[in-house]
Structure 1
Amino acid sequence: MATTGLAQEKIWATKSVYDRAETAHFERLAKESRGSACSVTPASGSLANEVAKARQHIKNGLQCVNNIATNVNISLQDLPARVAAIEKDTSDLRNSVAELRTLIKNLDLKAGSTLPEPYIAICPAKPQEPEAPSKDEDDDDVDLFGSDSEGEDAAAAKIREERLAAYNAKKSKKPVLIAKSNIILDVKPWDDETDMQALEAEVRKINTDGLLWGAAKLVPLAYGIHKLQISCVVEDDKVSVDWLTEAIQEREDYVQSVDIAAFNKV
């Protein structure tokens, strides 16, 4: 019974072989890891070079900054002197302008007097204008029609009188221009029952010197009412438009109002 049970149990007879293989495997891994660590060494050298280059760049940058600061300090030191020079030039310029203004003012004041010698060539004296003859002298020198005091002879006087007579005769024959106006009047009745023919007859009864009645017609207004539109020609010097409209409105039995529709000069 005991022998049978022991035979049925499983025994790892080759365990030592597996242990040695595992040990060899881990040793090999350890060697490989150490070899890879050694291969990093050259990289560490290149990193140092990069760090050195970075430090050199930083140093160069700081040197440039120092140079710029030095130049700025030099410029700032020169700035007050330059500002002072500009202010001095500005003051001199203002003084020169003031002197020129004073000189021009003095020249204006001395325009009517003799100028100093340095300015004679620049500003020559203004030539004097000839004096205009007086009115009395002109009247004495020129006499259009002559005078008896100058000993005019009878023949010259006779010729002058004949010419004046011929001129007056020609002027008297010239026709006088008469100003006239053409007027169109709107005469409105009271209602549609007004006799428009009688209204026109009453208007034409107005007669005076310088008034000439023309054509007339009826123009409809509204609600059967018509107005009389009549034209006339008047002489402006003899007939007044206001008088004519008032004379028409005096026909109160027929006329309600009068308006001027058109007014033209003839």
Structure 2
Amino acid sequence: MAALAEAMKAGIWFDRSKVESAEDKYQEYLVRGSGVKKAGTQSSGGEVSQQIAEARKKIQDTLKESGSSSKSSSEDVESLKKQVKDLTGIITNMNKKFESLESRLSALEGKGSTTPSKPAEAAAQNGVEDSDEDSDSDVDLFGSDEEEEDNEEAERLKQERIDAYKAKKSKKPTLIAKSNIILDVKPWSDETDMAELEKCVRSVQTDGLLWGASKLVKIAYGVQKLQITCVVEDDKVGTDFLEEEITAHEEYVQSVDIAAFNKI
């Protein structure tokens, strides 16, 4: 039985009926040779029949196992065939796409190539050369006249827009930065003529400078200082300029201090 099962698993199965008949005969031979003397008795005949039934059952079980194994093997084979078919289709599609890409690349390279055509090669081999006029018409190294005109027109429009922007910007009033400054002008002593000192301060005149109100403020021991307000344009007049011009009147002015500085 073991040998038969191994043979069936290995796929060796030619004629099932012959094998079953041979197996029955072999089992009968084994029963006869086992020392059974009274073959006509009921007990010995029952044992033989039981052994034969058991043998047949084992053969059927083995056949079922073999059938299920062969069925699974056939399913695996079908699955492999399907996978091979799918892979073949994918490879075919990829080859088609690759051929299409190659043809497109060849077309692009042909357009961008500067090699002469076959008629031009033949003419060159025969010693025939094209005229300068024909070569100029075939190869445009510097662009056509229409392209040059388009570039000139674009540059002209660009320049016109720039000029219009500059003109508009020049007409727009610009905001002038101004500052309000309060100066403390100190005399040398209490004997200094403060009226003359103020005249000296106001005598400083320049573009972008406007003097305002003033007053005398007591310091100590009868000494007073002149506190005067002015408005200046920041781009034209600075505090250093005011200090230099006012202290230039040495006979009246001892020093000048910035009491307050505010942007307007």
Instruction: Return the TM-score normalized by structure 2.
Output: 0.41
Larger Rg: 1
Instruction: Return the TM-score normalized by structure 1.
Output: 0.41
